[in-house]
Chains A and B, each alone.
Chain A
């Protein structure tokens, strides 16, 4: 049973083929490109093609596969690098040379009974979701101390270009206290991915001393790789992440950037001539995002183990404007927001997390953990710091008018301490030893600053 191509528009192809099902995977054309049925009509089906459609000709054959778009799960995923369709990049390089040709590719892992395929758009089952809150230590003081993240939680960090999203994600991928990290470079820069891959191959995991890559799976679909595969890449990644969660592991999925995924969705939607919603994004943007966020969580697995999947997603708002649809849609689902501020970045304050506009909905449940495990006055200190930063902001406005000289002695002191907090505590240089700050160290450092004040 096969059909033929009758139309081509950007990343979508319309085909005449009988018996196709929605979301069925099809093989397109003589070059054997991979596609997925995204719309069915009486006389034709529309297929989203995961590879470049240039050179494809009307009339070429279309082969249904009878299965949905799947990933292969089983041993051998860790330490590997895949494209958005889980094709192994190292093998592709060996077979095809430095540039990626469209068409067939070697299998992701192996063939045989140890492996099974799972449709990427279907969440993997678990017995039940559990609501215990345990902190996910990132090693970033601004996050762990001010806006702590929970295992199984979700966080977004929106920021304009140059605010350090990628660097922050990569730091957390290196140091986050989880068992497995799935990193998705979704529509981002090739050189940055190359740097990261090199670095991860050389670095060792703090806990186990094994190469960092041994606990990492990388999915990479750079901005110049096909746009439809960019749309699929986050699903490919989250399905692999769920597979590790189902083994009772704590898994962290980092995606950089969700905006590029949303833009891919918009590009495909526009090629399908769907009615656009806000800023040209399809109206189902928010529901697709909500479904994606819902794949996070701490679960009791089918065989009774506890595993968690945490999502940390960067957002690249157009023009640095946080009112845009992707940021706003994410905010409805995200449990924590780390807002990256351009003004801080220009002053080389990194990580450029804005301490006034960021939040964590997990803080009330998690701060107690630190009180018990690190120091009894962790939460007291934390409140003290937030108050000081607020006082500083107010005093700064006054100082803009009267000058620092015009402030009272006590107020000048508040400003000094707040500056110490900003410079020596909230700032963290990702290129030095200070890139990772364990909670004990974080606590000691803030106590040093606060107590020097008296």
Chain B
């Protein structure tokens, strides 16, 4: 413990969101610093690296106007913490936890570190309860489970936000409605306005952290950590089921890359830092249920695949951490199917634990397996049809072709109307019956 604040005016260099300060005595890793601008403004920063007396600081917010001669840095001896309290509900904050809704800051019950210590794997409760999202392609075939992290893999121009907003609005679990933590990262104002509208419609308790495209890049790295810290508080201290929507993780990763490059770190694939996997894991793995505690944190990140490429490092590393993915398809979107979920590359790893008798319905697994098998065959046969034409195919094959079409038009496509789990399963079963396809 230091007895007082330490103030230094030994700034050595400033580059983008980073400053180096020299001759610092005993800085703390992750320590919060207050930065005094020459014009009297104050900013905040965090210690990223210590090398003898030289300390690298990442500035949160605007770095314009800093200089080497007159700027000052005050070390606070504390690491970044988030204020917590039930009054956080219903509020809107920016990426440094400052209210954006014109109301004064609430009085916190306490402060807690935003880094989030890892959950002991033996304290995790196995995921089991399904969440009804209202989307047939998810509920029927890629069921979301409480405590799961399931990203939406989208691409430029695809309606990810409409789907995400629909899920926020309609998601229901066994215990009723969810509290929602919404984290906007690098969104345009237009996108944010859309979500704001949707969030008011949910009628749930909402906490929002908004970092728009114009806002500081470093806050993009903080906002999801604030969001998750609040989500864990609501879930594990107040027993709430919390749905966390983070959009767009691609902007998060680009911010990570920007800061890493400024630090002159060695770039990995496509310039993203080598620690991006661990960094993403430190966010995604906070989705959880805990043994002997009510409440859950379920995570729905939106990832925009650059150039529709699922092997791009962002969707790739995400897919290696999350428990499956919901993949949107440009082709289905162009055919007017909404939501354009391509069920073949989509996957919910925890589905097996969330469906069946007592959870959804006894025949759920059989229906899902049958739909998958027949739809996959139908999709394969489309390539054959393109070469030999429909006339060159036998009756079994043409029936599967028609089934694949009908599945996309009638089950995947549902427009803006939510469907109940029962409705999804009934329709799927009826469709299989209509094509005389058996449950496997």
Binding site for B on A (CB under 8 A): 6-10, 14, 52-59, 81, 89-90, 92-93, 96-102, 160-162, 185, 187, 189-195, 197-198, 220, 222-227, 260, 263-264, 266-267, 270, 276, 279-280, 316, 318-321, 346-348, 399-406, 431
Q: Is B79 an interface residue (CB 8 A)?
A: yes
Q: Is B437 an interface residue (CB 8 A)?
A: no
- Residues in B whose Cβ lies below 8 Å from that of A404: 394, 397
Are A260 and B352 neighbours in the complex by a CB distance under 8 Å? no
Known: A190-B288, A267-B274, A267-B275. 11 other contacts (CB 8 A): A54-B79, A56-B29, A58-B28, A58-B50, A89-B121, A96-B120, A100-B117, A162-B325, A187-B278, A279-B268, A280-B268
Assuming the contacts A93-B122, A100-B118, A102-B117, asked whether A405 and B393 have C-beta atoms less than 8 A apart, the reply is yes
Which B223-267 residues have C-beta < 8 A from chain A? Answer: 236, 265-267
Are A194 and B125 neighbours in the complex by a CB distance under 8 Å? yes
Are B118 and A225 neighbours in the complex by a CB distance under 8 Å? yes
Q: Is the interface of A mostly helix, strand, loop or mixed?
A: mixed
Are B384 and A57 neighbours in the complex by a CB distance under 8 Å? no
Are B384 and A403 neighbours in the complex by a CB distance under 8 Å? yes
Are A99 and B124 neighbours in the complex by a CB distance under 8 Å? no
Closest 4 CB pairs of A and B: A223-B281, A319-B311, A194-B124, A224-B285
- Residues in A whose Cβ lies below 8 Å from that of B266: 270, 276, 280
Assuming the contacts A93-B122, A403-B384, asked whether A191 and B288 have C-beta atoms less than 8 A apart, the reply is yes
- Residues in A whose Cβ lies below 8 Å from that of B312: 319
Q: Is B168 an interface residue (CB 8 A)?
A: no
Are B323 and A98 neighbours in the complex by a CB distance under 8 Å? no
Q: Is B25 an interface residue (CB 8 A)?
A: yes
Among B124, B288, B369, the most chain A Cβ lie within 10 Å of the Cβ of B124
Which of A6, A319, A401, A405 meets B394, CB within 8 Å? A405
- The smallest C-beta distance from B341 to any residue of chain A, in angstroms, reads 14
Among A101, A198, A226, the most chain B Cβ lie within 10 Å of the Cβ of A198
Q: Is B213 an interface residue (CB 8 A)?
A: no
Assuming the contacts A321-B311, A405-B392, asked whether A227 and B275 have C-beta atoms less than 8 A apart, the reply is yes
- Residues in A whose Cβ lies below 8 Å from that of B321: 189, 223
Which of A161, A320, A399 meets B384, CB within 8 Å? A399
Which of B31, B323, B397 meets A189, CB within 8 Å? B323
- The smallest C-beta distance from A278 to any residue of chain B, in angstroms, reads 11
Interface string of B365-394 (1 = CB under 8 A from A): 000010011001000100110011000111
- Residues in B whose Cβ lies below 8 Å from that of A320: 311, 316
Which of A59, A193, A399 meets B121, CB within 8 Å? A193
Q: Is B183 an interface residue (CB 8 A)?
A: no
Are A58 and B26 neighbours in the complex by a CB distance under 8 Å? yes
- Residues in A whose Cβ lies below 8 Å from that of B281: 187, 222-224
Assuming the contacts A57-B29, A223-B321, A404-B394, asked whether A319 and B316 have C-beta atoms less than 8 A apart, the reply is yes
Are A56 and B376 neighbours in the complex by a CB distance under 8 Å? no
Cα(A96)–Cα(B49), bound, Å? 29
Q: Which residue of B lies closest to A96 (CB)?
A: B120
Cα(A179)–Cα(B62), bound, Å? 61
- Residues in A whose Cβ lies below 8 Å from that of B28: 55-58
